[in-house]
Amino acid sequence: MTDMTGSRLCGGSTDGSGGHAALVRTFDAWAAEGRDASMERGHGDVVAQVVAKLGIKPGEQILDLGCGNGWATRLLAKAAPGAGAIGVDASPKMVERAESLHSYTIRARYEVAHFEKLPFNDKKFDRAFSMEALYYAVDLDAALAELARVLKPGAPADVVVDFHGENEASRVWADWGKSSGLAMHFLGRDEWGRRFERAGFGSLAFERLIDSRGPGDPQKFRADVCEPDWETRCKIHAAGSLWIHGVKAQ
């Protein structure tokens, strides 16, 4: 929730009314404050580690759930010749940012949509990816069912989260989420696995990923509600991201 330069990514409204309205309010504000770019800096190292291992094939059509300003969507689309990616995000301002950063040489596009009701036909995508987004789902089971619906049988889903049960220090983020009206699902790998299986995914695999740049510069560290001190910041870095891999049943 904090980028590698120490800029705070956490914090938000305190008048949350919940549901998608709270998501839109929170992440529209983040986009307006330029935190979309901070997320790219903060998440870039771990996402590069994952994308390098995905083995994206030429021509694959990829879904990026919770695309923010679309930086990872574009990375996925560039990973193989002829590949294309669509990023979805509930926040119109994030999607506006994504469109403003669009390059005509990359097959990427963006849609304002909710995870729980994706505007795509059944079995459209060859794979799905998501970085630091799925735990915000208003209805996680519905989001996973939608994810399964739009994937082709045998297609992989690779979901990365920093807020997870094996990262105990990240648990405090839920307080910020609550004050912003956001439902943040704090799940460990076993529970993530059960949820994915219930939605029709198999071949579950998990990996922990550590940002190779370290916890950042202590001189630039600024405490906030999500990282109240440097020690917490270091614990969150050391626990790393949880990569959940599942394959839609044939």
CA distance 46 to 9: 17
Q: Which helix (H) or strand (E) holds 173?
A: helix 173-179
Binding mask 137-166 for ligand SAM (x = CB under 6 A): xx----------------------------
Question: Is 72 an interacting residue with respect to ligand SAM (CB under 6 A)?
Answer: yes
CA end-to-end span of the chain, whole Å? 36
Q: Which of 74, 114, 185, 245 binds ligand SAM (CB under 6 A)?
A: 114
Question: Is 4 an interacting residue with respect to ligand SAM (CB under 6 A)?
Answer: no
**C-alpha separations of 65 from 34, 206, 227, 231, 237 in Å:** 20, 19, 25, 31, 23
Are the CB atoms for 181 and 152 separated by under 8 Å? no
The 8-class DSSP code of residue 103 comes to -
Nearer to ligand SAM, 126 or 132 (CB): 132
Binding mask 17-46 for ligand SAM (x = CB under 6 A): ------x---x-----------xx--x---
Nearer to ligand SAM, 6 or 219 (CB): 6
- Chain residues in the site for ligand SAM (CB under 6 A): 23, 27, 39-40, 43, 66-68, 72, 89-91, 94, 114-115, 131-133, 136-138
